[in-house]
Amino acid sequence: MPIPVRAYAAEASDKPLAPYAFDRRDPGPGDVAIDIQYAGVCHSDLHIVQNDLGNTTYPIVPGHEIAGVVTAVGSDVERFKVGDRVGVGCMVDSCRQCAPCREGEEQFCVPGMTQTYGSPDPKGGAVGQTITQGGYSTAIVVDQDFVVRIPDSLSLDAAAPLLCAGITTYSPLRTWGVGPDSKVAVIGLGGLGHMAVKQAAAMGAEVTVLSTSDRKKADAERMGAKHFLINSDKDAMKAAAEKFDLIINTVSATHEIADHIQLLAKDGTMVMLGLTTEGMPVYAMPLLWRRRRIAGSLIGGIRETQEMLDFCAEHDIACDIELIAPSEINTAYERMKKSDVRYRFVLDMARI
Ligand code: NAP
Ligand code: ZN
Ligand code: ZN
Look at residue 153 and tell me if it is in a domain.
Answer: yes
The pLDDT value given to residue 2: 95
CB 210 within 8 A of CB 231: yes
In a domain, 70, yes or no: yes
> Is 303 inside any structural domain?
no
CB 202 within 8 A of CB 195: no
User: What global pTM score does this model have?
Assistant: 0.98
Are residues 334 and 274 part of one domain?
A: no
Q: Is residue 286 part of a domain?
A: yes
The best mutation among 41, 43, 319 to test binding of ligand 1, ranked by most ligand atoms within 8 Å of the C-beta, falls on 43
Q: The domain containing residue 116 runs over which residues?
A: 3-164+320-351
125 and 235 in a single domain? The answer is no
The Cα–Cα gap between 259 and 236 comes to 12
- Is 273 in the same domain as 338? no
Burial class (CB in 10 A: 0-12, 13-18, 19+), 172: buried
User: Residues 125, 25: contact at Cβ < 8 Å?
Assistant: yes
Structural domain includes residue 62: yes
pLDDT at 122: 86
Query: Is the domain of 7 the same as that of 121?
Result: yes
Q: How far apart are CA 59 and CA 207, in angstroms?
A: 41
C-beta 42 within 6 A of ligand 1: yes
Three-state DSSP at 231 gives: coil
User: How confident is the model at residue 229, as a pLDDT?
Assistant: 97
In a domain, 231, yes or no: yes
Residue 186 belongs to domain with CATH number: 3.40.50.720
- What span, in angstroms and rounded, lies between the C-alpha atoms of 141 and 214? 43
User: Does one domain contain both 103 and 76?
Assistant: yes
Q: Is ligand 1 within 6 A of the CB of residue 44? A: yes
State whether 22 and 159 are in the same domain.
Answer: yes
For residue 107, give the CATH number of its domain.
3.90.180.10
First to last CA, the chain: 23
Same domain? 109 vs 199: no
- Judgement on whether residues 100 and 171 belong to the same structural domain of the protein: no
Based on the fold, state whether residues 32 and 139 are members of the same structural domain. yes
Total domains, the chain = 2
Residue 311 falls inside a structural domain: no
Nearest to 200 by CA among 251, 286, 111, 271: 271
Instruction: Give the number of other CB atoms < 10 A from CB of residue 255.
Output: 16
CA–centroid distance, residue 299 to ligand 2 (Å) = 8
DSSP notation for 82-129? TT-EEEE-SEEE--S-SHHHHTT-GGG-SS--EETTTSB-TT-SBTT-
**Ligand with minimal distance to 97 CA:** 3
Distant-in-sequence, close-in-space partners of 126: CB < 8 Å, separation ≥ 6:
22, 23, 24, 25, 61, 132, 133
Query: Do 50 and 175 belong together in one domain?
Result: no
Q: Does 111 fall in a domain?
A: yes
Q: Which helix (H) or strand (E) holds 159?
A: helix 156-159
| Average pLDDT for runs of 10 along the chain of length 352 | 97 97 97 98 98 96 98 98 98 98 98 97 91 98 98 98 98 98 98 98 98 97 98 96 98 94 98 95 97 98 98 98 98 97 97 97
Indicate which residue's Cα is closest to atom 38 of ligand 1: 273
Q: Which atom of ligand 1 is nearest to the CA of 273?
A: 41
Nearest CA to ligand 1 atom 44: 44
Outline where DSSP puts E strands in 50-138: 66-73, 85-88, 91-93, 114-115
167 lines ligand 1 (CB under 6 A): no
**How far is the centre of ligand 1, averaged over its atoms, from the C-alpha of 274 (Å)?**
6
Atom 35 (ligand 1): residue with closest C-alpha? Answer: 274
Specify whether 76 is located in the same domain as 221.
no
What is the SS3 assignment for 196?
A: helix
- On whether both 46 and 12 belong to a single domain, the answer is yes
